[in-house]
């Protein structure tokens, strides 16, 4: 029995595991019981993720982000789905140790891999466990919208297809709206850019979302770019193992007189409100917003999860780590708030 006495920070909570579902031999879904008093904090958007605190004998704990495969519109309880990875400490620990009645420390939902309009026609790509956030989007769009959905889902073999029965049932229930294209490696080999382009060419006007291993997403990006799909119509979800501790409370930084004198000014639009803040150049945008008590979206503070992605409207910033962003993202003004420092004296940013 896994029990957690108290959370390790003010942002996290301890949730009870309501159920564990074996999806495939290598993938388990963990369903959480969210008490009524926490329902607002755990309200989530399709495609978002939860960050779980996993105990470790070596480091005390590790933090891992797992996508919500449930839909906020069709499922009563939030559910993350975890697939074992070779040498993956977090995924193997969850699959081997967690059962109904256990407790886990969890951060509230986060992430920006979510459609702005569930009524749009959507072209969805998933490989392996990349189906988890895509499934959340798919179920939500079928429930709340009236657009067409096309899912291309690649897997190692038939036994690796997560949510196979659920996808079959949804296809039967929505035959005019949902098309599922399964791609199995033993039968078809690895997909090529040319094969993918032929399959999805009729749907290039759709908004695209993709999640899976980097080589798979690179392939999808290349296929869509070759078909002339604008980069701002494609969205990718990428997860990395987190090295830091996002469960620890934020400690306000001490700012020297020299740093304060050289600080920039930033106008930040968050939830429809604009905040004018002083931005010392050695601090990140997330740091100064937390210092002011603003509810800035963030999770890892390492530039690895994308939760704090925002847009520079004017001015210029530089980033310590921006590998999670594509060059096209950066060209379009996207930055990571947890890695951004001001270059110009005035910056305008929108979340």
**Is the CB of residue 102 less than 8 Å from the CB of residue 17?**
yes
pLDDT by 10-residue block (mean), the chain, 351 residues: 75 95 97 96 96 85 93 98 92 95 94 93 97 98 98 97 98 97 96 96 97 94 95 84 77 82 94 94 94 87 86 94 81 91 96 92
**Is the CB of residue 1 less than 8 Å from the CB of residue 90?**
no
Bridge partners (DSSP) listed for residue 151: 124, 180
- Residue 115: CB atoms within 10 Å: 20
SS3 for 6? Answer: coil
pLDDT attached to residue 304: 81
- Residue 186: CB atoms within 10 Å: 9
pLDDT attached to residue 241: 66
pLDDT attached to residue 57: 79
Helix, strand, coil in percent for the chain, rounding step 5: 25, 30, 40
Global pTM? 0.87
């Amino acid at each position: 029995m896994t029990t957690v006495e108290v959370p390790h920070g003010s942002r996290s909570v301890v949730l009870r595991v309501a159920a564990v579902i074996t999806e495939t031999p290598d993938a388990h879904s963990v369903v959480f019981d969210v008490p009524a008093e926490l329902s607002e904090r755990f309200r989530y958007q399709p495609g978002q993720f939860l960050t779980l605190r996993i105990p470790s004998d070596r480091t005390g704990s590790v933090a891992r982000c797992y996508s919500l495969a449930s839909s906020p519109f069709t499922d009563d309880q939030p559910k993350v789905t975890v697939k074992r990875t070779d040498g993956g400490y977090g995924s193997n620990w969850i699959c081997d140790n967690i059962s109904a009645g256990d407790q886990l420390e969890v951060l509230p939902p986060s992430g920006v891999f979510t459609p702005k309009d569930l009524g749009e026609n959507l072209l969805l790509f998933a490989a392996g466990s990349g189906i988890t956030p895509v499934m959340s989007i798919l179920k939500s769009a079928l429930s709340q919208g009236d657009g067409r959905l096309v899912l291309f889902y690649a897997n190692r073999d038939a036994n690796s297809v997560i949510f196979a029965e659920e996808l079959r049932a949804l296809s039967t229930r929505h035959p005019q709206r949902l098309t599922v294209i399964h791609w199995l490696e033993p039968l078809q080999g690895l997909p090529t850019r040319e094969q993918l382009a032929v399959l999805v060419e009729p749907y290039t006007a759709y908004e695209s979302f993709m999640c899976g291993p980097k080589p798979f997403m690179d392939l999808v990006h290349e296929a869509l770019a070759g078909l002339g799909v604008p980069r701002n119509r494609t969205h990718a979800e990428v997860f990395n193992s987190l090295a830091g501790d996002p469960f620890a409370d934020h400690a306000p930084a001490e700012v020297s007189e020299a740093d304060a004198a050289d600080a920039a000014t930033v106008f930040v639009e968050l939830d429809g409100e604009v905040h004018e803040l002083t931005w010392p150049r050695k601090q990140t945008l997330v740091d100064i917003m937390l210092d002011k008590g603003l509810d800035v979206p963030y999770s890892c503070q390492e530039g690895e999860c994308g939760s704090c992605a925002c847009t520079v409207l004017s001015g210029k910033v530089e980033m310590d780590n921006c590998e999670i962003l594509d060059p096209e993202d950066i060209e379009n003004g996207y930055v990571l708030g947890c890695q951004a420092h001001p270059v110009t004296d005035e910056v305008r940013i929108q979340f």
